[in-house]
Amino acid sequence: MLHQIGSTMQQHRMPAYAGCKSVCAKVPHTPMPSQANCVHKSRWSSTICKSRGDHSAAPSPSPNSGTPSTSAGAVGATSAPIVNGRHGTYEAAPGPSVVAHTLSSSDADEDDGDEAGGCVAVWDENFWNRPSPVRARLINNDPGLNQNLISSGTTIAQIFSQDMWERHRQPGRYWLYMSRMLHSTVLRRIFKPVMVFCSIAAVVGAVNSWAPAHLPRITMSLVPHTLLGAALSLLLVFRTNSSYARFVEGRLLWGALVRHSRDWTRMAANYFPGELRGRAARYVQVLAFVLKSHLRSGRTRATVADPSAFRDDPTIVVQELLPCSEADAVLTQTNRPFYVVCRMTQIARDACAAGIPRHISHSIEHTLSELMAVIGGCDRILGTPIPLSYTRHTSRSLVLWLATLPVALWPVAGWLTLPTMAVLAFIFLGIDEIGVEIEEPFCILPLLPLCRTIVNDVNTVMTMPMHH
């Protein structure tokens, strides 16, 4: 699956680094400083890029039409291209231009099949019972998602649109969801445990029905299970609420990342001098991708064929956003997000030395502190689960309660104990499974679409006319 990431990103209009000559004819961009002897294979362009110089005719985006226009000439290491806009000329930020690469409706609404065309479905048909356009496109779009947790319908692993909200609250959702229950991600994951408890119920029924008369029957009162069921429900509710709080916090942290990235870009575009504008824009885009990689650093599985095994590698993104020396410095760090924020702090220091207003410098420092808080919050969620003893105790209590429940149900329900156990096991184990699935939110949140949002917003701001 990894070898198809490049073509997928290109189909969804991700930006390519302006310094790659082979990409210049494919993706509009603004020139970057010359960096010779930079050789890397771009999976976004499926070509070998050997130089980041020689951009005398590199196109620049035009905000009037969204199509590339031609730069006036070669750009030096500290200059930015001049773009003609409706309100005059202005300096465009160096780096990848994705003004014309905003998300389309087919990107935002993943529930409409493959109407966009050209999107190759990647899934293991032996693993999934039926091919799902939604799941396939989401996995193509963001391979870092945990495929075992992606459902066949509209999921939380994408950013909702108004049409998707309308489908989500449709009155017929009850019958729709029941008709698709066999394709439920939760049911897939708990199917074997449910069958185990149904088998226990079948054994209890067989013994009580066909055992010799001189042997005792396996029965007990329902009172203990009635009393314990209330306590078990409290355990499940508390655990699920704790997991949901972690999921919400993870989404809030990435929302804060988007918001503070916009603030940083807005202040950099209006107050930073010259070349510092472009560097500030590039580094805030890099921050989003290296944080995503930091949170999806790798899932080890027993077999390579396991679709949930994936390691998010930001190398290509960083190389196409930054010059070689700066990209190598980022990629060699252990804590890349922290290092990128430190580089952004150095850019802010240089801007302050150039004479930006004092109140702006205070706002910039606050924004950088908030970005560090986002990184720290994500690290806390990723590195600290709900206390393991609580998870284990809940699981053990569920197993003991469900395993002994057929003995108490048989005198009351008879052979109806089997379907009753199937329903009860599905409900109780499903609640516990949902809590486990959302406890670590970064493998199911739409991190790549949020990174795209940052890239699009940054480049939109950096290509606006600057009035002085």
Residue 49: inside a domain: no
What separation, in Å, do the N-terminal and C-terminal C-alpha atoms of the chain show? 49
Confidence of residue 64 (pLDDT cuts 50, 70, 90): very low
Mean pLDDT check: name the lowest of 28-42, 130-144, 305-319, 364-378.
28-42
**Percent of the chain, pLDDT > 70?**
63
Q: What is the pLDDT of residue 6?
A: 38
Token match 């391979």: residue? 143
Q: Which residues contact 467 (CB under 8 A, 6 or more apart)?
A: 87, 88
Each residue's pLDDT tens digit, 430-447: 999 999 989 999 988 889
Q: What count of other Cβ atoms lies within 10 Å of the Cβ of residue 97?
A: 27
Q: What is the pLDDT of residue 467?
A: 58
CA gap 419, 17 in Å, rounded: 58
Residue 374: inside a domain: yes
Residue 60: inside a domain: no
Q: What is the pLDDT of residue 277?
A: 92
Q: Mean pLDDT in the chain? A: 73
Token match 């809030």: residue? 252
Confidence of residue 464 (pLDDT cuts 50, 70, 90): confident
Q: What is the pLDDT of residue 132?
A: 57
Confidence of residue 302 (pLDDT cuts 50, 70, 90): low
Residue 88: inside a domain: no
Q: What is the pLDDT of residue 176?
A: 86
The answer, as to whether pTM is greater than 0.85, is: no
- Give alpha helix (H) positions in 152-222: 162-168, 173-179, 185-210
The better pLDDT of the pair 358, 90 is held by: 358
Residues spanned by the domain of 423: 183-210+219-299+327-463
Q: What is the pLDDT of residue 24?
A: 30
Residue 6: inside a domain: no
Token match 């949902």: residue? 434
Confidence of residue 118 (pLDDT cuts 50, 70, 90): very low
Nearest to 343 by CA among 256, 281, 294, 296: 281
Q: What mean pLDDT do residues 212-237 have?
A: 88
Residue 425 has pLDDT above 90, yes or no: yes
Query: Measured in whole angstroms, how far is the alpha carbon of residue 136 from the centre of its chain?
Result: 15
Residue 432: inside a domain: yes
Residue 154 has pLDDT above 90, yes or no: no
What angle, rounded to 10 degrees, do the helices at 336-353 and 324-331 form? 130
Residue 457: inside a domain: yes
Residue 413 has pLDDT above 70, yes or no: yes
Residue 394: inside a domain: yes
Q: What mean pLDDT do residues 205-233 have?
A: 88
Q: What count of other Cβ atoms lies within 10 Å of the Cβ of residue 407?
A: 21
Q: What mean pLDDT do residues 328-338 have?
A: 95
Confidence of residue 148 (pLDDT cuts 50, 70, 90): low
- CB of 422 within 8 A of CB of 413? no
Q: What is the pLDDT of residue 166?
A: 87
Each residue's pLDDT tens digit, 241-293: 999 999 999 999 999 999 999 999 999 999 998 889 999 999 999 999 999 99
Q: What is the pLDDT of residue 167?
A: 84
Residue 379 has pLDDT above 90, yes or no: yes
Q: What is the largest CA-CA distance in the chain?
A: 100
How many domains, in total, are found in the chain?
Answer: 1
Confidence of residue 184 (pLDDT cuts 50, 70, 90): confident
Q: What is the pLDDT of residue 352?
A: 93
Residue 122 has pLDDT above 90, yes or no: no
